[in-house]
A and B are shown apart, each in its own frame.
Chain A
Amino acid sequence: MWSRRQGRLRPTVCGVEELRRRRREQEAALRKARREQQLVSKRLLREDAPEEAGEGCVAAILGEAEMQQFLRQAQRGTEEKEREGALLSLRRGLQHPETQQTFIQLEGSMRTLVGLLTSNQALLQLEAARCLHELSHSEQSTIAEACLPATSYLLTYLSGHSSDFIELCLYTLGNLIVESEAVRRQLLPQGIVPALAACIQSPHVAVLEALGYALSQLLQAKEAPEKIIPPASASSSILASTLPQHMLQMLQPGPKLNPGVAVEFAWCLHYIICSQVSNPLLIGHGALSTLGLLLLDLAGAVQRTEDAGLELLACPVLRCLSNLLTEAAVETVGGQMQLRDERVVAALFILLQFFFQKQPSLLPEGLWLLNNLTANSPSFCTSLLSLDLIEPLLQLLPVSNVVSVMVLTVLCNVAEKGPAYCQRLWPGSLLPALLHTLAFSDTEVVGQSLELLHLLFLYQPEV
């Protein structure tokens, strides 16, 4: 999907300003949805716009009689092209929620569709799968549940060889997983985790991306921390399977790293880590070093001004690292497992600069990682000082209150390490910057600056 995304040329009818405005509105709506915990992401594979635009009108809603006719034609037609055409018309109709409702209420419709899905005509099979995919995009759980009879076949087809078909099945499964707990309750005993673990060995990039998507949806399920992730639940467990190792492999930087695939698996990793089920296990698999190296790679790519949607990878990697660092196991495991590399700090700053210019909303994420790095580790604080990174840090203060608080927290982390650190912090524009922040109206900012001042005076009373 990634590569095809870059090659796409969408003829735009409306102006750029209009698009920007629409996007801003969309983002605002999404932020609201996120606050209300209703952000549900689905992915729809659909024919590109030009085909629809060419026809001038969107496919009409299908009535019951029409639908029955299409189904009958698809099932019993004599000419293969005729059967395919009937399914195609059905699929177009299924783009509408009303048609979807009509479909699931029509007796025998799903049975027929499943029959076509498992027929011996390859192209009918593909078309039937596409119809299912349309249905999977519905936001109503009743429709997702109506697709239950097909799930065992979708899973069976994951071990086939036709990559386009597998991709379609994976996206369909991912969509269904999001929508209904009943679907997940069926998919888990049907063996979705082993099926995915087998499928992840596919060499096809598109398949891997689709798999990452489906997996990420599975991991976001609210029952995931109890039922899906823990190793105790035997065959349906993510952590007990080979999935984590494969995921980390996909995140290894190098010539074989595919950004689209990496993004999906980075998010998957993030959800697993958030569930806090067994993070030491992940650390044991080398997650910290892989992610650290990936961070370095990202910083490098940013410097080369390769803007291939990199921020999409940066966010989950930063979150994963930040969360993993809070694990107590980090100190106990030690050795090469621990993230000791000073270059991480430098890389992080390069990314922070990049965010500052392009994506200020990601600054808190980066600073959060810096906070976690410096909180318990004197060596990272030393790196910060020796690489002369205090100035750039101070430059971030005016961005926003949230950012200010984080910058000040990081500085506090450094300061509390002792007098030597305070001594090195003090010269330069720290004082003027601090005095400035004290004038902020945000109580948190002021509170944090006072804390910093307190620490500085504590260790450096002569100042």
Chain B
Amino acid sequence: DGDVQRHLYLQEVLMQVADAPEKPRVPAFACQVAGCCQVFDALDDYEHHYHTLHGNVCSFCKRAFPSGHLLDAHILEWHDSLFQILSERQDMYQCLVEGCTEKFKTSRDRKEHMVRMHLYPADFRFDKPKKSRSPASTEVPGDSGERSEGEAMEICSEPVVASPAPAGERRTYSHRSVSKLFLKHVLNVCSVLRILGCTWAAALLIVNSER
């Protein structure tokens, strides 16, 4: 009979999921984060918006992630050049599933592991292989249309669409993009230093020590 009681308890339809007429309304206010122009009239909505879009945001590329764990993985794999170097020698791509400690040589291997062992979808949105800086316009039909203001989450393009990159090719590509960035960075610094009146050699020294 205790079971029956338990069942009745669970069955009671009583959650008040906060919804439009129910939520306490406040005078409309806008999100304070720079660049975000969303307006809200309920605090719960704003809380969810904040956590979703501004909570775990990559400071390099402004992409938002649902958790700190995924954000950390992203920064490591996309924006850390030391990671790139180390990954040539050892398995660095960690499985994204909480509790799994497996590491892999490439993000493709990791994805295969997640699909095979963890039954994750092949187009899992939070595991993108790093690709070109062209905007994510390769929409797989049926996906939600992406509004790119404050580009949060990219749509993943299926591996078949991107080149089935053998590791070597992708590596050079990423090196190329890294060095492009680096060059740009150096040029910026140089122009600044020129204004400051330093020599070229001194500029290189400074840049190197920074890195």
Contacts and interface: CB of A to CB of B under 8 A. Distances in A.
Contacts of A39: 3-4, 7
Interface in B80-139: 97-100, 117-121, 124-126
Given A75-B144, A159-B67, A126 B2 contact: no
B142 A108 contact: yes
Given A122-B48, A126-B48, A156-B66, A51 B19 contact: yes
B202 to A, nearest CB: 44
Contacts, number: 176
B6 A41 contact: yes
A315 interface: yes
B22 to A, nearest CB: 7
Given A39-B7, A123-B48, A156-B67, A195 B98 contact: yes
A319 B2 contact: yes
Contacts of A48: 14-16, 22
Chain A interface residue number, banded: 35 or more
Contacts of B125: 118, 153
A51 B22 contact: yes
A1 B98 CA distance: 27
B16 A165 contact: no
Interface in A247-285: 263, 267
A48 to B, nearest CB: 5
Contacts of A26: 8
Interface residues of B, number: 59
Interface of A: 1, 4-5, 8, 26-27, 30-31, 34, 39, 41-49, 51, 75-76, 108, 111-112, 115-116, 118-123, 125-126, 130, 149, 152-153, 156-157, 159-162, 164-165, 168, 186, 189-191, 193-195, 197-198, 213, 235, 263, 267, 309, 311-312, 315-316, 319, 361-362, 365
Overall SS of chain B's interface: loop
B21 A51 contact: yes
B150 interface: yes
Given A47-B22, A123-B48, A160 B53 contact: no
A95 B112 CA distance: 37
A116 B153 CA distance: 12
Contacts of B3: 34, 39
A152 B120 contact: yes
Given A152-B120, A152-B121, A311-B5, A190 B48 contact: no
Given A156-B70, A168-B17, A115 B5 contact: no
Contact of A115 (B22, B44, B56, B142): B142
A263 B10 CA distance: 11
